[in-house]
């Protein structure tokens, strides 16, 4: 072998070492993929949020453009947010969402090659508005994308957790609790919301950060940002916390480099569509105004509702989280720097979500959805809380798994018993 070939072999070896699949990932990903796909909404579009992402995904896959000229009727004043979240730009009608989720499903739409079918659609948000001609693509590629992305996120979460000093068996269990005891199953994996794809990229970034592959982590976080922009808070928290722990600015630079690629791509996309550098894009200024508002009372009320409201509270639909609270302090003490950064980012993300948006996240789905990315980011902390507080206490352990059972029964009841409602609406 020539001496000049050695660096090349070494370089590819390092790349393979960074991306190779772990058994822990496979043990979670494959069973959840089968379950998620078998219970996903494949034959129809049951909510305008994932429908909008699916429409963009079809156009990207079939035409290479995010512009949807066939859906101009949905931009009328009496139709906006009624059938889909589509807005008019100088380039034509487009989704008001960032393009990340749609880009993930575009290849599947291209492979399927199915044309859209003309439907007359009447939304439920404004029942007085007349039905409009509205071509619809198959829902299957988008739903399969959501199912696979969510299952992969749970697998990557399980693969990252052992780097926090937890056994692989416990990590696999954490992946299943997260995948079946939260609305990852009922909502994120069911249709192409932003949550499944964003959780995938977040979990991948955390996995790379846990293994000290910070350049790769940064690019993964960049993909999360172009899917769901507030995840930039999690990327920043992880990079800065590792930098602080190591007393070096280099970790923050590595994470920021890839993250800024995603943020820059989002800014360019919004500038191309709306002629201004903005993160919120088609959402307008409403969320920014709420975020910067000095009204703390409404924020605290919104936060409380997001946690304990009977219809969408995080702790109501995943009550096992309450049992973990006493173990958070002990878990924090054992967290490595990347895990602490992820936990801090989860808290920041959750606070921003409840400050800038309504706590419910809309209707037409089970429980909550805004906290999902935060749960992924806090996965290592929550698992260590289980190890430190729950695992060796028989009564607390029974209480915890009883609460997991309640959460699971709620998911099963929604997915397998209740009849899906057509025309679900949300913000």
The pLDDT of residue 279 is above 80: yes
| Residue 283's pLDDT band (cuts 50, 70, 90) | confident
3-state secondary structure of 80: strand
Q: What pLDDT digit, counting tens, does each position of 146-161 carry?
A: 999 999 999 999 999 9
Pinpoint the alpha helices (H) of 40-182: 48-63, 100-112, 140-160, 168-180
- How far is the CA of 239 from the CAs of 212, 232, 319, 420, in angstroms? 11, 11, 31, 41
In percent, the amount of the chain with pLDDT more than 90 equals 72
| Residue 256's pLDDT band (cuts 50, 70, 90) | very high
H-helix or E-strand spanning residue 409: helix 394-412
- Residue 284: per-residue pLDDT: 66
- Mean pLDDT, rounded, for 372-393: 98
- How far is the CA of 403 from the CAs of 169, 365, 378, in angstroms? 20, 21, 19
Pinpoint the alpha helices (H) of 211-325: 214-227, 232-246, 250-274, 286-292, 296-308, 314-317, 320-324
- Mean pLDDT, rounded, for 375-384: 98
Q: What pLDDT digit, counting tens, does each position of 32-62 carry?
A: 999 999 999 888 888 899 999 999 999 999 9
State pTM to two decimals: 0.92
- Residue 362: per-residue pLDDT: 83
Determine the straight-line distance between the first and last CA of the chain, rounded to whole angstroms.
61
Facing residues of 44 across strands? none
Determine contact, residues 126/116, Cβ cutoff 8 Å: no
The pLDDT of residue 292 is above 70: no
Determine contact, residues 80/119, Cβ cutoff 8 Å: no
The pLDDT of residue 5 is above 50: no
Report the range of poorest mean pLDDT among 229-238, 279-288, 334-343, 353-362.
279-288
More confident residue, 292 or 297: 297
Report the range of poorest mean pLDDT among 212-226, 276-290, 341-355.
276-290
The pLDDT of residue 397 is above 50: yes
Q: What's the rounded Cα separation, in Å, for the pair 415 and 409? A: 10
Question: For 278, what's the count of Cα atoms within 13 Å in the CB-facing half-sphere?
Answer: 19
| Residue 11's pLDDT band (cuts 50, 70, 90) | low
- Residue 43: per-residue pLDDT: 81
Token code pair at residue 97: 């969402």
How many H helices and E strands in the chain?
20, 4
The pLDDT of residue 4 is above 60: no
Mean residue pLDDT across the chain:
90
Give the rounded distance of the alpha carbon of 82 from its chain centre: 24
- Residue 15: per-residue pLDDT: 54
Question: For 319, what's the count of Cα atoms within 13 Å in the CB-facing half-sphere?
Answer: 16
- Residue 6: per-residue pLDDT: 42
More confident residue, 390 or 19: 390
Query: How many other CB atoms sit within 10 Å of the CB of residue 384?
Result: 27
Token code pair at residue 33: 């993929």
């Amino acid at each position: 072998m020539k001496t000049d070939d050695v660096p090349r072999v070494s370089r590819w070896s390092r790349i393979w070492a960074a991306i190779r699949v772990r058994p822990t990932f496979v043990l979670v990903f494959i069973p959840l993929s089968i379950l998620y796909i078998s219970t996903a909404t494949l034959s129809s579009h049951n909510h305008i949020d994932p429908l909008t992402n699916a429409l963009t995904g079809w156009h990207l896959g079939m035409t290479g453009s995010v512009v949807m000229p066939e859906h101009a009727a949905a931009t009328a004043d009496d139709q906006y947010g009624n059938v889909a979240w589509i807005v008019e730009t100088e380039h034509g009608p487009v989704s008001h969402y960032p393009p990340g989720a749609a880009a993930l499903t575009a290849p599947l739409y291209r492979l399927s090659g199915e044309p859209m079918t003309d439907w007359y659609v009447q939304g439920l948000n404004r029942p007085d508005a007349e039905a409009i001609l509205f071509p619809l693509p198959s829902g299957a590629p988008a739903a399969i994308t959501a199912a696979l992305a969510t299952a992969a996120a749970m697998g990557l979460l399980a693969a990252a957790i052992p780097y926090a000093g937890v056994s692989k068996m416990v990590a696999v269990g954490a992946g299943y609790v997260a995948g079946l005891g939260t609305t990852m199953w009922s909502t994120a994996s069911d249709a192409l919301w932003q949550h499944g794809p964003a959780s995938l990229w977040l979990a991948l970034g955390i996995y790379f950060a846990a293994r000290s592959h910070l350049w790769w982590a940064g690019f993964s976080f960049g993909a999360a940002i172009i899917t769901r922009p507030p995840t930039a808070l999690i990327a920043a928290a992880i990079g800065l916390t590792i930098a602080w722990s190591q007393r070096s600015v280099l970790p923050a630079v590595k994470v920021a480099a890839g993250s800024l690629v995603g943020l820059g791509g989002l800014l360019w996309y919004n500038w191309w569509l709306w002629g201004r550098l903005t993160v919120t894009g088609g959402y307008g200024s409403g969320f920014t105004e709420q975020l910067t508002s000095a009204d703390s009372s409404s924020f605290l009320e919104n936060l409380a509702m997001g946690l304990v409201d009977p219809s969408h509270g995080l702790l109501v639909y995943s009550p096992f989280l309450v049992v973990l609270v006493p173990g958070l302090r002990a878990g924090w003490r054992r967290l490595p720097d990347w895990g602490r950064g992820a936990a801090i980012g989860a808290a920041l993300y959750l606070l921003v979500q409840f400050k800038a948006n309504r706590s419910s996240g809309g209707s037409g789905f089970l429980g909550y959805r805004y906290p999902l990315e935060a749960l992924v980011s806090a996965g290592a902390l929550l698992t260590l809380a289980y190890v430190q507080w729950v695992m060796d206490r028989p009564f607390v352990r029974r209480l915890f798994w009883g609460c997991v059972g309640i959460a699971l029964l709620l998911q099963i009841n929604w997915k397998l018993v209740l009849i899906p409602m057509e025309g679900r609406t949300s913000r």
